[in-house]
Every structure is written in structure tokens, then in C-alpha cells.
Structure 1
């Protein structure tokens, strides 16, 4: 994939072509715009790109989480700006009761649920968000603090799938400061969300630490580079795990997937963990949590070396190792209460 243009070159025809190259085959594009400087730049660049040739329709969407009284007016403001650019705009409201804890994570889940639902309704194939290099650096730090493995440290992907909608982050290599400068230079109005300065939220607290880390050499650019290298390593390990699992005689019988368990003991631990995870996914279960996957893989390896059977549960699945050296994965049976 060609690298995106730097911000100063983004307004040129060639820069826009490079920036939005992966969107050219879309049937429709939903762009999430909150009204902040990052998404404001994204909206203006998409408008210029859409006007420069035969392009897929670009639809602007603003999620009103209903968490601040100003949010409704900000969403209307985005609508005015979108209309001035000739782009249709929709406000998506997060309604219903809000949780008292974990509000940012819940808001994130609601935001993507609403955006993906809107894209599906509009027959759009792509969702575009304005995540930046600074957002990537903060994500890497937060995931490291939670003890994430390589997949977590890899941070946000430039492109990923969300329920059949392609989620693209074209500004992921750009620093926030450059986008803010672009808004000011071009006179593009934007809003400022006061929650971005509230230390009630973990991301904001990490953001406050970034200048201290940068002074020691760990700036956003290096953290983003670490994320890229982790993503490359995770991809290589995942491909190797798939190859190993394919060679382990996987068999589907009804709602059960089984495979030769020897791979879990003969392969390096990192490959074995990913092979078990991929087997779970193939059997129709959600990917397991890393710490649980590691513990289950270790138990299965120990049983294999001892020539014993083993039975455990993970991610709603019952995983059994029989004495013939074969692992089976099927739905976990209902749990009985009492005796």
C-alpha cells in the first residue's frame, strides 16, 4: 500500500488520490464527523476528493451520544458545514439508559453500532473515521498498560472489517497538530469537546503523559512505528498458525471441530496459542482472551506431554483432549444449578 501524503500535500489532486485510494471501489462511504478538528479535516478532504471526479457517494454522519447538553447543537453545526460542502448529513442518536461505569467503552460500542447500521441502511460499503497518529499512540499505551499481547500493541488497523462494512482510517499517519494547523490556515470552523480535557477518562490521562514520554524519546511517531511492527509480527504468526492448524487434520462433525493435538506441543507456544484461537473461531466461537488462551494452551500441552486427557471451557466452548491425542471443540453444555 502506498504511503499517504503528508498533510501539506493532501489538498493536491495526487495527494487526495493517494489518501483515499482504498475508497475508489466503494459503493458508498459513511464518514463519521464529530465536528472536532480531525474529523473536520477529513470531511473537507473527502468533499474535495468527491468533487474531483466520478466518486462513490459520501455521506456524513454525526453520533450524538446524549452525554453533554452541547452535543445536539454540535451535531447540527456539522450538518450546516456538510451542507455547505454539498454533502448529505445524518444525526445518529444514542438513546436509552447509559451505564454509570465504563461510559467511554460503552459510547464507543454504541457509536460503531450506529455508524455500521447507518452504512448498511444506506447501502454503503465503507466507514471512514479520522483517527490520527496521536490516537494510535494513546491506544498502544493503554493496551500495553492492560497487558495486551502483540495484537493489542499493534493498535488500530488502517483498514478492518465491521460486520461487513470496511472501516478505513486514512489519517492514521498524520499528527493531530498538523490537522489543527490545517483547519486554522484554511479557516475551517470546528468545535472543541470539553470531555477531551477531562481526566475522568483514561485516554485523556494518557494524553497528558505524552509530552513527558516524548521528552524521553518515546513520542507518538515511535509508538506508531512500534504498532506497525507489532502488526507485521502478529500477521506472520497468524499465518503460520493457520498453516499449522490446516496440517492438523481439522474435521467438522455436526457442531464439533476436532484436530490433531500434537501441534499444540510441537510448535512454539506463540504459534500454539494462535492455532487454538483460530480453531475456536473456525468452530464458530468468539476469539478468546489472551490470558485465558495462554492458560488453556498450557494445560493442553501439559496433558499431552503426560499422555493424559483434559477438559476445559473457554469463550463458551468445551475443549476436550482425548487420550488418542485429538482436541475437540463444541458448545459448552448448560450449567446445572445446585446439586
Structure 2
């Protein structure tokens, strides 16, 4: 890719979207800001150069949080029409939470985008996350004490509700997208919430120039996230092998759970992942928090190390117990609702 101040060329755009040529249809998440407008414009230019390619469907989600959002959605629709693309605006209706609003809005946006993708027969949703977003995500997760998986930040492609969620601009800077739009003389919206210090991400964004002076610019932070993602993928392979090994050792036995002594001999990170996997699969209260799984593992280690004693603990809708040299993870009974 060219330097951060130059517009993205047609050749570069072809590389960005190369893996999507055979998709039947693609939903483009377009809010109206510079990143997503650039995504739509680049994708449309790429598609026009193909003899046969996927249908592109720009979708704007109006969260109903700003008065300007409806006008911005109309502006996106006008631009999409000029690019010969169909456009749809979806609205997040219903009450909005008083706390955790950014996370709730993000969840609603992906849910609505997935619904649009299924309706139009699209296999992919493209979002306009950039290298700058990746750096900010890494910083946020570092401050929250995330593990290796969390510090890998955003993956280039994941699956959500049967739809592939792809981020083709993850190695591209926001500055280069803005330069691309300026060269094409395409206008875009400015969302003031991106600078609102009431939210964590804008506060970290304001720190980026200072971090860059010490070498912590978006390029280096994004590179760190990529290296952590590579390490995380390797550890996942080892965890898969360890899980298969435990299953093979227990083949032919009717005793539930797995051997506590064999489990204890494995590296701590592998044990942690195996335990979290079992709880996430078995529990019915969402994914277990890493810190709580770490505390549970420490308790398991003490019991197994003493070769005596028992443990029974509930976490994320699963019951984890140790007895007779076996570790068991089973569904917890439903919580009783309190009556007044």
C-alpha cells in the first residue's frame, strides 16, 4: 500500500478486495463517515472493473442517537445511487441502555447488518475498520488486562451468525482514506461522538499523537496486534491437540470429566484455555470472564496438587467440580427467580 497521504490506487483496491470476487453478494456497512464512505467508493470502483462479480449492497444503520443520523443516511443513499448501488437504511428501535451504550449500539449494528445480509443472500459483511481503529482496540484491551486472544485485537475475517465479517481496510490508515476521498471529491460526514471524551475510544484517540512520539504509532501498534494474533493462533493449535489428548485418554471409560493429574501436567495457558472452552460450551450465562477462569484454575491447581479434597464452583452457568481425581464441567441448574 502507498504512503498514508496518497490516494488508494485502483491496483491497491484490487488487492484489498481480491478474496471476495466469488461472493454472490456483499453488504457494505456505511455510516457516512470517511472510512465507510471510502469503503463503498473503493468497492464500487473495484466491482465495475470486473466482468462478473458480487452484488454490493450498502447498508446504513441509524441508531437513533443523533438528530443528524437520518440526514447522513440520506447522503449515503444519494452517493450509493450515483455509484449504481442499492442502499438500505436500518434503524435500531426500542429503549437504549443508560450504561454500556457503545457496546450495545455495536451489537445492534451487527445484528441488523446480519439480517440485511441474509435477506439479500450476501455471504459477507464488510466494515471499514482501519489501522487506526486496530491500534485503539489494542490499547483499550491492554488497559483492561486482556489475554493474548484479546490483544490480537480485530481479526481480518470472522464469522457472525453464519455470515463472514471482513475488514479489508485493516492495514490502511484513516489519513489515506481521507486522501482518497479528497482526490475523488467525495464528501463525508463528521460524527462528533468520535471526539466525545465521555467515551473511552475518543479519549485514547486523543493520546495517539503523544504515543506516536514515543514510537507507539498506529502502524507499530497494529503490527504488535498482528504478532499477538499469530502467537494466539499457535497456542490455539496446541490447545486443540491437548483437548484431543484428554479425550483419547478417556476413551472407553464411563467416568465423566477428565483426568485431573494429566490436566495439571499441561502448561498453564493450555489449561486455562481448555477450562474456559469447557465452561463456555457447557454454561448458559454467556462466555466466562478470563479473570474468573484464572481464579478458578488456581483453586483447581491447589486441590489437584494436594491430591485430596474436593471443589465445587459455579461460573457462567456451569458447575465445575473436582472429586475422585476427575474434573467435571456440567450445566448449572437454572437460577431461581426471587419473588416478593
Give the TM-score, by structure 1 length: 0.92
Question: What is aligned with 1:303?
Answer: 303
Deviation digits for residues 104-140 of structure 1, max 9, x if unmatched? Answer: 1111111111111111122211000000010011111
Residues 317 and 257 of structure 1: is their aligned pair in 2 closer, same or farther, counting only changes over 3 Å?
farther
Question: What is aligned with 1:312?
Answer: 313
Contact kept in structure 1, 2:81 and 2:87, CA below 8 Å: yes
The equivalences for 1:62-81 within 5 A come to 62-81=60-79
Contact kept in structure 2, 1:9 and 1:15, CA below 8 Å: no
Return the alpha-carbon distance in structure 1 between the equivalents of residues 300 and 88 of structure 2.
Answer: 51
Deviation digits for residues 190-232 of structure 1, max 9, x if unmatched? Answer: 1111111211111100000000111111111111011011111
SS, match of residue 246 in structure 2: coil
Question: What is aligned with 2:45?
Answer: 48
Question: What is aligned with 1:128?
Answer: 126
| Structure 2: tracts of 5 or more residues without a match | none
Deviation digits for residues 226-277 of structure 1, max 9, x if unmatched? Answer: 101111111111111111111012779xxx9722233431111111101112
The structural deviation recorded for 1:279 is 2.5
Root-mean-square deviation (CA, aligned residues, Å) is 2.2
The structural deviation recorded for 1:100 is 1.6
> Match for 1:25 among 14, 17, 22?
22
SS, match of residue 248 in structure 1: helix
SS, match of residue 88 in structure 1: coil
Return the alpha-carbon distance in structure 1 between the equivalents of residues 2 and 42 of structure 2.
Answer: 12
Return the alpha-carbon distance in structure 2 between the equivalents of residues 134 and 257 of structure 1.
Answer: 48
The structural deviation recorded for 1:21 is 2.0
Question: What is aligned with 2:193?
Answer: 195
Residues 337 and 72 of structure 1: is their aligned pair in 2 closer, same or farther, counting only changes over 3 Å?
closer
Return the alpha-carbon distance in structure 2 between the equivalents of residues 115 and 337 of structure 1.
Answer: 34
| Structure 1: tracts of 5 or more residues without a match | none
Deviation digits for residues 144-171 of structure 1, max 9, x if unmatched? Answer: 1111111111111111111111000000
Question: What is aligned with 1:239?
Answer: 237
Residues 282 and 22 of structure 1: is their aligned pair in 2 closer, same or farther, counting only changes over 3 Å?
farther
Deviation digits for residues 272-312 of structure 1, max 9, x if unmatched? Answer: 10111223344476442110111111111211111233211
Matched, 1:115 2:116: no
Return the alpha-carbon distance in structure 2 between the equivalents of residues 35 and 105 of structure 1.
Answer: 20
Return the alpha-carbon distance in structure 2 between the equivalents of residues 337 and 56 of structure 1.
Answer: 50
Return the alpha-carbon distance in structure 2 between the equivalents of residues 120 and 195 of structure 1.
Answer: 30
Report how many residues are paired.
Answer: 331
The equivalences for 1:160-171 within 5 A come to 160-171=158-169
Give the TM-score, by structure 2 length: 0.91
> Match for 1:15 among 8, 12, 17?
12
Question: What is aligned with 2:275?
Answer: 276
Return the alpha-carbon distance in structure 2 between the equivalents of residues 224 and 198 of structure 1.
Answer: 23
